[in-house]
Amino acid sequence: MASIRRLSFVMPAFGEAENLPQVLPRVLAQAAHCEELEVIVVDDHSRDRTFEVLREWGQRDPRIKAVRLARNSGSHMAVLCGLSMCTGDAVVVLASDGQDPPEFTPELLKARDEGHQVVWAVRSAREGETLLTQLFSRLYYATMNRWSSVQLPPSGADFLLLDRRVVRALVEIPERNTSLLALITWLGFKQTSLPYIKEARLSGRSKWTFRKKVRLALDSLIGFSTLPLRMTTSLGFVFGGAGFVYALLLVANRVLDGLLFGATPIVGWNSLMVTMLVCSGTLMVMLGVVGEYLWRALEEVRGRPRFVAEDEVNLAFDGIVAATKARAASSSSSSDRSAGVAS
């Protein structure tokens, strides 16, 4: 029996040509829980036949819609692209590799019916994952929960349901280099979590490389924490204080006729070079941390699009552009009205 009028599924895909034919029928079967169903798959510029597979499925079933991004923009931007196009009263975000079971959708909808606007499907177990992957995941979530302004499920979650109101608020945020999941937590709203078992991939290898994980960790920490900046400030105080104390000790040694270090001046090329290398290296790290913040600020100021679509299936591309322009015009008119009130 349908529990919601219109339900949308948003699925990022990158190199999932083999998995999609197995996942899509399971997603379409969730039509029993809504009056209308739409499935939006965002191809993050895959190198295989992912988009061709989506085109074939879209020709057979108009409920399946797809977008191919013009460049690889990352899974979080792919999800955001799908969220900006979906029309459901509730939206389920899940992976295209079969690890997130679509059959868990009724549980998510039940939690929404109870008044929750964000429902996280939290991993109680992870099948087919290496110990190193699980360790890195735990470390990432523990660091974010300890040192950032958001609280994420400790065991991780990237399978969730969003209410339409949350989707609208999320799409309007213009950030680029950020963690979409942390951003959802930061938004607030009434949130809850349900445990589920994350299944092993149906086929193929994960495209979520170690390099991408490190980048996400940096984006998340820099986007929601001042810890890196505070650490650079603390290091500056430590090195500055150490230099000041050493200078005082040298003066005291001179006054006390070499009581501390001896009357003979200290000569040591090796110790001097070590000190210089350590200090200069620390300074470069501190400048790099500041540079990471500045780069992200520059990215926002430039105003480049977060994602660009090069092809679509069962979606009016011109309509998408028009909708984007309409949102921008609406925001501009709202700013003008606010300025008029202020004046």
Query: Domain limits at 62?
Result: 4-219
Residues 191 and 239 in one domain: no
Q: What integer pLDDT is reported at residue 271 of this predicted model?
A: 60
Domain count for the chain, please give it: 2
Last residue of a domain, one of 150, 184, 219: 219
Q: Radius of gyration over alpha carbons of the chain, in Å?
A: 26
CB 44 within 8 A of CB 72: yes
Residues 208 and 232 in one domain: no
For residue 216, is it left (φ>0), alpha (ψ between -120 and 50) or beta?
alpha
CB 205 within 8 A of CB 48: no
Contacts of 43 (CB under 8 A, 6+ apart): 13, 14, 50, 51, 54, 66, 67, 68, 69, 78
Residues 158 and 275 in one domain: no
CB 24 within 8 A of CB 57: yes
Residues 121 and 205 in one domain: yes
Q: What integer pLDDT is reported at residue 44 of this predicted model?
A: 87
Residue with tokens 């280099």: 177
Residues 177 and 282 in one domain: no
- Look at residue 338 and tell me if it is in a domain: no
Number of residues assigned to the chain = 343
Residue with tokens 């955001």: 80
Residues 211 and 250 in one domain: no
Contacts of 68 (CB under 8 A, 6+ apart): 43, 45, 46, 51, 309, 310, 311, 312
Residues 215 and 238 in one domain: no
- Look at residue 294 and tell me if it is in a domain: yes
Q: In angstroms, rounded to a whole number, what is the distance separating the alpha carbons of residues 31 and 160?
A: 17
CB 8 within 8 A of CB 88: yes
- Look at residue 340 and tell me if it is in a domain: no
Q: In angstroms, rounded to a whole number, what is the distance separating the alpha carbons of residues 121 and 159?
A: 5
- DSSP H helical segments within the chain, as ranges? 20-28, 50-60, 75-85, 105-113, 131-147, 164-171, 180-187, 210-224, 227-255, 269-302, 317-342
Give average pLDDT by consecutive 10-residue segment, the chain, 343 residues: 78 88 90 89 88 90 90 84 88 86 89 89 67 70 70 73 90 77 84 80 62 70 70 73 71 72 59 66 75 73 75 68 42 43 40
- Look at residue 97 and tell me if it is in a domain: yes
**What SS3 state is found at 134?**
helix
- Single-letter code of the amino acid located at 265: P
- Single-letter code of the amino acid located at 156: G
- Look at residue 333 and tell me if it is in a domain: no
Residues 210 and 85 in one domain: yes
Q: In angstroms, rounded to a whole number, what is the distance separating the alpha carbons of residues 290 and 294?
A: 6
Q: In angstroms, rounded to a whole number, what is the distance separating the alpha carbons of residues 110 and 117?
A: 11
- Look at residue 15 and tell me if it is in a domain: yes
CATH number, domain containing residue 56:
3.90.550.10
Residues 73 and 105 in one domain: yes
Q: How big is the CA angle at 331 (ends 330 and 336), to the nearest 5 degrees?
A: 95
Buried b (16+ CB within 10 A) or exposed e, 88-107: bbbbbbbbbbbbbbbebbee
Residues 173 and 247 in one domain: no
Q: In angstroms, rounded to a whole number, what is the distance separating the alpha carbons of residues 284 and 290?
A: 10
Report residue 31 as tokens. 């039509």
| Angle formed by the axes of helices 210-224 and 227-255, nearest 10° | 80
- Look at residue 341 and tell me if it is in a domain: no
Contacts of 337 (CB under 8 A, 6+ apart): none
Residues 185 and 276 in one domain: no
